[in-house]
Amino acid sequence: MNKKVVLLTLAVFAWLNLLPALCDQGDGPDKNKVSALMQRKLQQSQKVLEGVALGDFDKIGRHAEELLDISKVAEWRVLKTPRYQTYSAEFQRTAENLINNAKDKNLDAAALAYVEMTLVCVKCHKHVRAVRMVRRDD
């Protein structure tokens, strides 16, 4: 085989193996840390729902505060897009609403805030998947 063809083949092979790593740069924090953080978010969200279902305002407030704290750590910021920033701010606003509604012992408002927070999560996760798919298509 021609030496140029072998070198070109090796170069293409190396480039294709490097491409995923290059595309992942700038995606934000360590994926394992993000995954662990999202698991904590899910657990706290489930506890908020349990509090809403039981009318346990202490549980709602405590776990909503934990959600708010989670949203403020560095691993939370997986993208640097305006839409992601908007979703993150909306999540924090709804977590604060949950906390306030728990303090006011307003179950209907707490339930509505929980639904709003869940919708924000779904929209944000959809946005993150879409942005990552576009990055992979490049």
Give the domain ranges of the chain: 27-137
Please give the angle made by the CA atoms of 54, 96 and 80, to the nearest 5 degrees: 125
Q: Mind listing the pLDDT tens digit for each residue in 87-132?
A: 999 999 999 999 999 999 999 999 999 999 999 999 999 999 999 8
Q: Mind listing the pLDDT tens digit for each residue in 37-95?
A: 999 999 999 999 999 999 999 999 999 999 999 999 987 888 989 999 999 999 999 99
Q: Which fold has domain 27-137?
A: Four Helix Bundle (Hemerythrin (Met), subunit A) (1.20.120)
Question: What is the pTM (predicted TM-score) of this model?
Answer: 0.74
Check the CA dihedral 91-93-99-104 and report its sign: negative
Q: Torsion angle of alpha carbons 118, 30, 69, 45, nearest 10°? A: 30
Report d(CA 98, CA 56) in Å as an integer.
12
Q: Which has the closest alpha carbon to 64: 91, 32, 34, 25? A: 91
Q: Mind listing the pLDDT tens digit for each residue in 2-51?
A: 555 444 444 434 433 433 443 444 445 578 888 899 999 999 999 999 99
Residues 90 and 122: beta-carbon distance below 8 Å: no
Residue count (the chain): 138
Residues 75 and 30: beta-carbon distance below 8 Å: yes
